[in-house]
Structure 1
Amino acid sequence: MTFLPPKRFAWLLTAILAGIPLPWARAEVAAQPPVRVGYIDFPPYSYTDERGQPAGHLLEFFEQVAQRAGYRTQFIEYPSYRLFKTMENGSIDMCPSLIRHPVMSQYTLRSRYLIARVLLNLYYQGQPPPTQLDELRNARVLLIQGLVYPGSPLAAVAENPTNGVLTSTAPTHRAAAQMMYLQRADYLLDYQDPAESGFKEAGLPVLPHVTLLQQDFTMAFSQASPRARQLRDDFDGAIEALRAAGQLPEKYRAIFPYADEAQDPPTPAQ
């Protein structure tokens, strides 16, 4: 039987407890293909900049976590509907996601960490601030193409034909801001940070709004990928190591594990 020298054993034990990938483990994952990360236009979290490069503080955070776990990354922007399909068929490995996404929850494995909280707002112009959603009867409501709004109380109002709510979509957050100022709609339903980025990009003041609810985001991993569980566990381990070392970026220092019975669904039968 071969024993490790005391110093080497102490270093090994420290590395394991701190969640630091061991040299041979790093070599193993480095030999794997890059982790394909899908994203949508959701500034300032994720977007493609004027040089055609992936940008946004959420993508920077993903890159930091991937590097800590010993992986390379490849970021690819998709329209929302294509992102759902590529996650379903495993064309990409992971993407940001609502914790309880009405579509992707069926075929993804989620991180154990809540990584971001975003407010869902109803913006208005030329209207009094709505105090009750019943006041939106016969109103024109603008949505963002491809986004989902699970749990939004506005959905029930809009889906009831007796309320006469007319919905339309804007292709981008900037276009939505412009359409509101052109009075193409009475209200805009959008997430706060990308909505305000859209107003800023269009050179327009942010409209007044009321907050409807808060949405929680995590990392989702395609169950069609054979390494889904390994990636989820490696990325979660890297987040824990970064937390323990005090190396999380400022915007993500409040990251914490969440309780969700659906975060680890059974692997589908082959």
Structure 2
Amino acid sequence: MTGPQQLAVIGAGLGAGILTSTVGVASLLSFPVLIALGIPPVVANASNTLGLLPGALSGAFGYRRELREVPRHQTIAVVVICAVGAIGGAALLLALPSKVFASAAPWLILFTCLIVGVQPLISRWLRSRSDHPHGTPRSMSPATIGFTALTGVYGGYFGAGAGVMMMAVLGLGLDLELRIVNGLKTLALLAANLVASIIFVFIADLDLAASGLLAAGSIVGGYAGSHIGRRLPATLLRVLIVLAGVIAAVLMLR
């Protein structure tokens, strides 16, 4: 990679780290950058997962105050279920032919854009539920467990938009404030990325240079994003993410 390309990957990692701890669509920014550098889709996806791991770690550390407010049994359950789901997602990525992922990636990005676009509706729904703190269960229902596992699978396979999905699943399934849900979501995605990354290191083809550059940016962005996430009015950011995602998906479909 040339110097400007390296800076672009670091910048993508920084932005993706911020998105990991806020909106939850980190791969929507970093994955297309790796594709633009000519890295094959499956290699780019695995390298992207490894590179964003430090961002999820620093983001979870930044939310440590919120995470102390989550009952320990809920934290353990969410982390374990999401991690187990990620094993299945990583296995799908490696087992299916690369052309399957190359064909699916643009549609996954468009699906993510749809999720980000309707996030205000999800947020209003969650706020309406949080106004009635005794109206939601403090234990995980079978539906919450199932959807948490499915989100882990999606996170291990691709990941863009997994944070928004996890926010909805945990916010609707548990009696927690939104700021706490954001912290728990970040920790859950850390677990998914960690498990998938371990699998990819031993089995998948990786571009370690790209992963290292992403890691350098994401570790700073993840921690910064945890502070932004506590007070983020994300309307403009959401619009820019959707526009960038649509453009990236259209370019990949050509």
- TM-score band by shorter chain is under 0.3
TM-score by length of 2: 0.25
Which structure ranks higher in relative contact order (CA pairs < 8 Å, sequence separation ≥ 6)? 2
Relative to its length, the structure with more strand (as a share) is 1
Relative to its length, the structure with more helix (as a share) is 2
TM-score by length of 1: 0.24
